[in-house]
Every structure is written in structure tokens, then in C-alpha cells.
Amino acid sequence: MKKLIYLFVILFFTKLLIPTIAQAHRMTIFAWAEGKKVYGETSFSTKRKPVHVSITVQDPQSDTTFLTLLTDNQGKFSFQLTPQMLEEHPDLLFVVKTHDGHRAQWLLTADEYLTAAAKTAEETNGRSSMPSIAKPHKIMRPESMSMGVQQQQAIYIRHIVDQELEKKLGPIRKQLAQKNITSIRLRDILGGLGCIIGLAGIIAWLQSKKNVQNSMKTFILFFTFALLTASPKLIYAHFGMVIPSANYVTPDHRELSVQLSFSHPFEGTGMDMARPDRFFMTTGSTTTELHDKLKQISVMGKKSWKTKITMKRPGVYWFAMQPAPYWEPAEDIFIIHLTKTAVAVFGGQEDWDKPLGLETEIIPLLRPFGNYAGNSFTGKVLIHGQPAPHIAVEVELFNKDKKITPPSDYHITQIITTDSTGVFTFSCPQPGWWGFAALSEADYTLPGPDGAPKHVELGAVLWTYMDPYSHQ
């Protein structure tokens, strides 16, 4: 029995200390059953909560929808298990979607919610037939009880343990599911540790009777399994996109088209984008405004923009977009992705590492054209012209024809952190357009649809093309 207790403690702290991946704009959902009621929470990895977002409860085998719910102001939801669920006991798939393509899911198995419902019924029946132990101070010593009373006593004690575990370990479990380990509070850890010690004391007290001991063993193993297998699903990142028809221009093909859009590039999910506040082209000391030359088009089935330019002089040309603020109701924030890309024209190679003076931007330290897949891209993130240390940079491939299938959700968006000088490096394994988005929060707010001030997420986005390496 002591070995079992030690194993429980070791596994708990292993789960607590295992690092998780914090990814911007990732959304999580998780659900659990208590009695005949199911509770759930949703959140973004930015710590914001999806507000009034639709959740469907489905049968994963038949895709039948049992319920459609809305999250509250804290991203939470709950419902009573229906007679159909309790009778047919299907697994329950929870799917949350936002209007712009965010999606996450969580599977609550029938065993989980049926066990919780049966456990509540057992405890209720046990307590109703055991009035003499209705309060903790009425608990009797094992040697003074008959076997039946001992079993009833064990049920009641497990009920107490359940309540205390939920109170003490709940904050830790939820923070783990939100992938926010760094903000776990000391009192949560100490509370969880105290609860484990208390559980060990109860188990030791009940050791004298074999049948009660076996019951508690089963309980501990079930709880440990449930704790360790909690693993939230992920969704994908926003990217502003400025994609030219080529990243270098030759005298034989002088015309260049440039598309502007807002999307999840790997998954091929677009969002409607309003006409940008500004779109310009710069080379050397010359800047040309292109805002009025934009024409509306559809990219990934969503409102986007395009222009065509005939290149006339050699140089390295930067195309940069300042989009209109994008309102993200699920996160209650505005998003502004300041996006740029470079095109080499007629052999030009000057000023490819020149800052454009944007509020935030990525300065390439690898020439951003004429590169092969497999090359390592290095960049430096600036905010107000100053290096941005220790911030997350999201990386995605524009999976244009959806030829690449990721082995897991984690492989869709790669994550890097800048060093103390704001520099990061990433090796691009596939040919195609690669996007780098360094995310930060603006030092100002904007009025939201309700007139209240809202936070603004800034993205410094750079796109560069990696050519396939040919041996011919």
C-alpha cells in the first residue's frame, strides 16, 4: 500500500512539472463530469476566455449533435446529462468553433461520465442508510464497526476526499489544461500537497480492512489515470499575409502581382480582411503608396486584396501592409499584423536588412530571397525600433495545396522564442512560403464594438520563400 501512495505522489508531481507548449492564439477546451452534470471550460493560450462561443456536443461515431451550448463570460459551460446519454452511453465529443476558424475539441468518454453518475448514486444511497455518520465528527473507528458499516463509512470518506481533491487540485489541473504552468500559484501547489498527505492519512487509517483497502486502491488508480491523461487539443494561429507571385523578378518577367490576406496559412482557413489602412512599396530611400491600387479578390474563400506592378528598376523592394484592426470577439481583442516581404528585382541585393520603421517588425539576418528549403532563417524582432527579447515567434508554412499532412496539431504552428537580443533562428524543412509572426501587446487600446477600451495584439510578420533544391 505504501508503494501505491508513493507512486501516486510521484506521478502527480511528474504531471505538474512536465513542460507544456504555450502557443499564442491556441484554444483549449476540456470537460469533466460530476454526478449527472458535465462542466467545461475553454480558453486561449493568451489567457483570454472565449466569450459566448458556440459549443456542440456530438457523438464521435455518428456525428449526431446532442446539444449546442454557449460559453459564459468566463468561457465556461455546463449541462445535465440527458436520459438518452445515460441510457445509450455514447462518448461525448465537445467541439468549439469561432467565426474566424479557431477550433478545438475534447473527448469525454462514456466510462468517465457514467462512473461519475454511478459514484454519486452510490454515495447518496450510502449516506441515506447511514445517518449516524452524516457529519465528519461521527466517523467511527474500524474495530467498532460491522463490515457493512465499514463499507458505508468508506463511501462517505471517499466523498470527502473527492470534494477536497477538487477544491485543492482543481486550480492546478485547470492551469495545466490551459498550458499556463508558469503562473501556478504556490498556495495551489501546497494545497495539492496537503491534500495528498491527507489522503495518505485516510488510506493508512482504512488499511485494517482488506475490502476497504481495495476500494481505496481502485479510487486512487482511477483518479491518477484521469489526472495524467488530461491533454487539451489545439488549434491554429492567425497570420497576416503578403504573398507576391515571385520573390525575385527578371527582365524577362517584369510584372509582379501581390496578394494580401488574413488566414491560418497551414490549414488554408481564411478570414475576411477589410481594405488595409496602408500598403506601400519601398526600395532605398523611395517609398510608393499602393493603397489605392488594391482590388478586392477572394483568397481561401474570404475577402482579400491584390495589386499588379510592373517593375522598372533594379533593387530590393519591400512590400508592407498595415491592416485595419481586426476585431476578434472570441478573445475580446483587436489584432493588427504588420506584414512585409521582400522581392529582389533585376539582380538587386542592397538594403535587404533595412528596417522599415514599423511599430513592430522582423529584420532578416539571412538574405530573404534566393534560399533553399533546409536553410536556417534568422531574424531580429524590433518593437518601436528596439530589440524584443524573450517573446514568442510563430512559424507556419503556407500549405497552399494542402499537400502536407502534419503528424499532430503541434506540427502545424512551430514556436520559437527570441533570445536576449531579440534574435531567433528556424530551419525551414519544406520549399514554399514561410511566415514568421512575432506577437506582442500594444501599449494602447482601441474602443470595441461596445465602446469599452480593448487590448490590441500586434504581430510583426515576415514572409520569405524557400526554393526546392534541385540536383539537375
Whichever domain contains 91, its CATH number is 2.60.40.10
Q: Is residue 402 in a domain? A: yes
Is residue 368 classed as helix, strand or coil in its secondary structure? coil
Query: What confidence score (pLDDT) does residue 120 get?
Result: 62
* Domain edge (last residue) among 172, 199, 228: 228
Owner of C-alpha cell 542592397: 350
Q: How many CB atoms lie within 10 A of CB 156?
A: 19
* Domain edge (last residue) among 194, 228, 262: 228
Contact of 400 with 390, CB cutoff 8 Å: no
Q: Is residue 233 in a domain? A: no
**332-361 pLDDT, tens per residue?**
899 999 999 999 999 999 999 999 999 999
CA proximity to 421, closest of 366, 378, 359: 378
Contact of 324 with 276, CB cutoff 8 Å: yes
Residues of the chain with pLDDT under 70: 1-26, 45-48, 99-101, 119-237, 471-472
**Whole-number Å distance between alpha carbons of 349 and 342:** 11
Q: Is residue 448 in a domain? A: yes
CA distances from 314 to 249, 258, 318, 355 (A): 9, 18, 13, 19
**Whole-number Å distance between alpha carbons of 4 and 23:** 35
Q: Is residue 234 in a domain? A: no
Contact of 80 with 117, CB cutoff 8 Å: no
CB-facing half-sphere around the CA of 344: CA atoms within 13 A: 15
Is residue 8 classed as helix, strand or coil in its secondary structure? helix
Is residue 76 classed as helix, strand or coil in its secondary structure? strand
Question: Same domain for 315 and 377?
Answer: yes
Question: Same domain for 167 and 285?
Answer: no
Question: Same domain for 254 and 222?
Answer: no
First and final C-alpha spacing in the chain: 68
Query: What confidence score (pLDDT) does residue 132 get?
Result: 45
Indicate the number of domains in the chain.
2
Query: What confidence score (pLDDT) does residue 401 get?
Result: 86
Query: What confidence score (pLDDT) does residue 463 get?
Result: 98
Query: Rg for the chain (alpha carbons), in Å?
Result: 28
* Chain mean position to CA 263: 16
Question: Same domain for 12 and 129?
Answer: yes
CB-facing half-sphere around the CA of 454: CA atoms within 13 A: 23
Q: To 10 degrees, the CA torsion angle through 231, 59, 46, 25?
A: 110
CB-facing half-sphere around the CA of 420: CA atoms within 13 A: 0
Q: Cβ neighbours of residue 437 under 8 Å, at least 6 residues apart?
A: 237, 238, 239, 240, 337, 393, 394, 395, 396, 459, 460, 461
Amino acid identity, residue 238? Answer: H
**Cell numbers for 388:** 524584443
Question: Same domain for 85 and 201?
Answer: yes
Question: Same domain for 224 and 244?
Answer: no
Q: Is residue 97 in a domain? A: yes
**Whole-number Å distance between alpha carbons of 458 and 323:** 11
Query: What confidence score (pLDDT) does residue 201 get?
Result: 58
Query: What confidence score (pLDDT) does residue 153 get?
Result: 58
Q: Is residue 472 in a domain? A: no
Question: Same domain for 208 and 251?
Answer: no
Contact of 66 with 81, CB cutoff 8 Å: no
Pairing of strands 453-467, 333-345: parallel
Query: What confidence score (pLDDT) does residue 470 get?
Result: 76
Kindly write down the DSSP assignment for every residue of 60-75, as one continuous string.
TTT--EEEEEE--TTS
Query: What confidence score (pLDDT) does residue 147 get?
Result: 53
Query: What confidence score (pLDDT) does residue 137 get?
Result: 46
Q: Is residue 415 in a domain? A: yes
pTM score, whole prediction: 0.62
CA proximity to 196, closest of 351, 61, 4: 4
Q: Is residue 266 in a domain? A: yes
Owner of C-alpha cell 481564411: 270
Amino acid identity, residue 445? Answer: T
**Whole-number Å distance between alpha carbons of 151 and 209:** 10
Contact of 439 with 24, CB cutoff 8 Å: yes
Question: Same domain for 351 and 428?
Answer: yes
Q: Which domain holds residue 140?
A: 2-228
Question: Same domain for 221 and 243?
Answer: no
φ, ψ for residue 19 (rounded to 5)? Answer: -70, 145
Amino acid identity, residue 99? Answer: H
CA proximity to 438, closest of 401, 472, 394, 372: 394
DSSP 158: H
**Cell numbers for 194:** 496537503
* Domain edge (last residue) among 178, 201, 228: 228
Question: Same domain for 137 and 284?
Answer: no
Residues forming a β-bridge with 439: 459
Question: Same domain for 32 and 122?
Answer: yes
Question: Same domain for 137 and 207?
Answer: yes
**Whole-number Å distance between alpha carbons of 207 and 224:** 20
Q: How many CB atoms lie within 10 A of CB 221?
A: 13
**Whole-number Å distance between alpha carbons of 264 and 239:** 6
Amino acid identity, residue 333? Answer: I
Q: How many CB atoms lie within 10 A of CB 151?
A: 16
